[in-house]
Structure formats: C-alpha cells, structure tokens
Structure 1
Amino acid sequence: MISYIKGTVVKKGLDYIVIDNNDMGYFVNTSLSSLNKLCEGEKATILTYMHIREDVLALYGFLTSDEIELFKKLISVNGIGPKAGLSVLSTYETNTVKEIILKEDVTRMSKVPGIGKKTASKVILELRDKVGAIDGIVSDTEGTGIFQAECESSDILSALVGLGFNSYEAKKVLDKIDVEGKSENEIIKEALKNINRQV
C-alpha cells in the first residue's frame, strides 16, 4: 500500500492531480478542498488511499490526515464508494461534514451529488458515533439532542433543572430553540413554554 507521495504537482484537473515523484507521475483523485490548496509546480505531500477492485486500481489523496480519515470512514459505509466519498468531501469541508453527521442533518447530506436521502440517512446512522466531536456540537447518541456550547456554558440548563426538570428533557427542549440574539430569560421562558406543551 502507498501511504503518501511526496513530490511536485505537475498537473491539476477538475478532481485530480498528477504528482511527480522520482520521475514517476502518479494520478491521484482528490477533493475540491485539497485541490484548491495545491498549485502546479509546487512540492506537496499527499496522504493516499489505494482502492483496489477486480477491474480498478486507483489512488485517492488528501492534504490532511483529518480529511483522509473521514474519507475512509465514509467509504466504510455500505453503498458509499470512493467516488461518493470524494463527492462528499468536495461538497463540504471536513468539519462541515462532521457537523452534518453529528446534527443528523439528512437534508444537507442529501445535497451531495449522487447521494439520496436514504443513503444520507445511512451515512449519518453509521458514522454519528465515529466522527468524533467538534467544538460546540455533540452527537445525539443518547437522545439528548444537539446542544449549543453557548447554552451549555451558561446558567440556563441549571436554571431549568432547578425548576424541577431533569437535564434530559431540558437539553432536548433547548436544542429546538434558536438562541441567537435572545437573553437568558427569554430562552428560559421559551423553554418553559415548550416543556409545558410536552407535559
């Protein structure tokens, strides 16, 4: 297996590069994100994944370990091949893909060319516990919902718990509130209304 290639980028295509290493040119499929950071004539180190099938031998490469690891996770999902994985990473930046998965945003994932809602749901279901956390976002694996960091760090949750609600239902309700531009009191009032509706 080829783990990485260090050399000079001699050509850039729409979704690939050709990189020269010791007078040998390697054709490497890559994402739009990595492609935009590369320039012809410049040296680069490309982290690679070799895809081998009966009739196919192809290299996929990325500039960061974060991107290639996410690529490997994407193609581990049944029905997602390297082309579809590359399409995801060409549509969204790495952190955006993680955010979409953690927020279980099927609509945004299904906007990727070649991925429908059924496949998008499958990707999210299989990877939500595997992509890791990013600042301000946690996975909904325990039914607690996605809870914004600015709310978590405030006294809002503590206030609701102090009013007799358990943290589970409080977090679930807060997740559905658009907190931007609202004071803590306004958020608490809206949360109380929403909790009372559920009772």
Structure 2
Amino acid sequence: MDEQTFVFNGQGFMPSQQYSLQATTVSGDPYVFATGKTTPSGNLHIEGVWEAAAAPASMAAAVGSSYTPIAGFALDNTAWFITRVACFYSTDGGVTWKESDHTGDIWAGDPIEFVPLETIGVPYGALVKIHAIVVAGNDRTGSTVFQFAPVHGDWKYAYYQVAGTTLTSKLYFIGYLEWVG
C-alpha cells in the first residue's frame, strides 16, 4: 500500500488550543484528517500518513478550536420515558444557536443510540451541544460544547446517559465512544 507522509509545523497559534487540519475529497466533501494541540507557547506540530489513493483533493489551513471534535452523540436511555436526540448548533462561534432535527423515539432498554450529526441536519464544522427531548417531560441540554469535525477514520461520539422520570430527568456526560461499523 502506497502511503504519503505529511508534517505541519507552525508558530504563533493560540496557546493550549485544539487545531484541526481539514481537507476536501474529490467529490467536494470536507473532512478533518488530523488534529493536534498547541503548546503553552503557541507552537503546533502535527504529522501523520494517509493512503496515496485517499489523498485529499485540497486542504485548508489549520482551523483553531478549543472544542473536542466529534462525529455525533451516543445516548443510553436508562429512564422510564421516551427520549429523542437533537442538538443545538452554532455556525458563528457560539453567538447564536439553532435547534437541529431530531431522532425517532428512544425507549428505555433500547441499545445505545448512535446519532451521526449529519443525520439530524447539523452543518459540518458547527459547534454543538446535545439536546435530549423528553417526551411529555422536561427536556435537557448538555453544557459541554463540541465541534462537528470528526477526524477522518476516527468516529468519536460524545456519550450521554439520560435517567430519572419525565419531570425529574437528568442528562449525564459519560465520556466518549468510538463507532466501529
């Protein structure tokens, strides 16, 4: 298999921030192919490889972000109510927020629901926070903000659990799950 190596070095970036390198496929779809975090002095070094056949058609300069890149949300409904997953998203750095579409019903005892953000209408690169819609109850919105910018080949999902009753629902951030499919 023929592989290509890349190295990105830079100075003068915002210290201790997450940066992503974004590329575009031949068909025009954007994707993040590498991420890295700047040093406390603002230096950035990212290196890696990709298959020659999968080399990007074009690349964008590093895009700075202090938000964890994710592909979507994963929800475990342990409560005795029906939940739907949506999110609030922002395309202007968090100044304004819009609500996305939502999933179908997720019942107590269902397997963990993986929700790719593109399936609920979230634009690539948007900032996102989960919104758990509790049918006939109190909805819950997560406080952690992520960025919809999955690293190519690394499908990280922010993993949440919803618990309680319709009127006392709670939403817990558990960590991250990797989608392998």
Same fold (TM over 0.5): no
Of structures 1 and 2, the one scoring higher in RCO (CA 8 A, sep 6+) is: 2
Greater C-alpha radius of gyration: 1
* Between structures 1 and 2, the one with greater helix share: 1
Q: Normalising to structure 1: TM-score of the pair?
A: 0.27
